Amino acid sequence: MSDLLLLGLIGGLTLLLLLTLLAFARYSGLLAGVTVSAGSPPIRNVTVAYKFHVGPYGETGPLFTESCSVSPKLRSIAVYYDNPHTVPPEKCRCAVGSILSEGEESPSSELIRLYQKFGFKVFSFPAPSHVVTATFPYTTPLSIWLASRRVHPALDAYIKERKLCAHPRLEIYQQDQIYFMCPLARQGDFYVPEVKETERKSRGPAEANDAPVDGTGTDTMSDTSSVSLELGPGSRETSAATLSPGVNTRGWDDGDTRSEHSYSESGASGSSFEELDLEGEGALGEPRLSPETEPLGAPKWPREPSTPEKGEE
């Protein structure tokens, strides 16, 4: 009799454990729906402190931990430039860090110096008029693993089906949501200087004179793209701003028009904004911007990213 009671107790505890695990997985987003859309970006123009990483995306966890340890209250951001399924892991490139400011607000010089003290660089990303975006719950470390298995394939399918030029791939960790964003315009402005440097080294002199351009006719890898901040004792150097832009591996599209590292051919010829479904609101509840009347001719690309552990945030 005691043996049967013991077996029943073990069985009950096992069942309870399984139910707990299922509840945890559901809370982490196992059954969450993934909706991909095109519209306004989930964030405005931002200034970020970042560290550049070349290597397996699964090794970026310490970078998230380091950036969060400098200022835990800031949002984390990651920009992934290569598809780990088509680019050797040791050559995958990304930038990981924290968002220092958003919109018209400028980051304080003290905050910039604090991040630079720990080896971070400061760079500014614009707010493109249109992006491909999706969200996923960010409630536990498991959420990151689930997002990598569910959101990225959905983004790939959406971009490929509509033959869009959407790159690179950004992940923003804000409160209990992960925002995924693939710019449809000004892509070159999302490439930090280290990426441009690796592109120059990978291309020959002849190819360097034939750099890819976005729909506006601007060189997407131009040195004049975006804004880079370098704060010294009482000074800040700013480059001209122009039009153009860790836990698991992702599943993304492939394609390459620049180098073996490039990540930009999600579709074939690239569609104009008028062909997109631009309805609803932005990821943060703001109205989506109306489509531009001028189509964005898009070069070809593809590649993708990874993320941090919830605990590392």
CATH superfamily of 35-202: Regulatory factor, effector binding domain (3.20.80.10)
Count other C-beta atoms under 10 Å from residue 80's C-beta: 28
Which of the 8 DSSP states describes residue 240? P
pLDDT value of residue 207: 54
Residues of the chain scoring pLDDT < 50: 208, 212-263, 265-269, 272-274, 279-313
Helix axes 2-27, 141-161, angle to 10 degrees: 50
pLDDT value of residue 1: 62
Which of the 8 DSSP states describes residue 43? S
Contacts of 284 (CB under 8 A, 6+ apart): 42, 43
pLDDT value of residue 204: 62
**Is 199 within 8 Å of 259 (Cβ atoms)?**
yes
**Is 142 within 8 Å of 25 (Cβ atoms)?**
yes
pLDDT value of residue 267: 44
pLDDT value of residue 27: 86
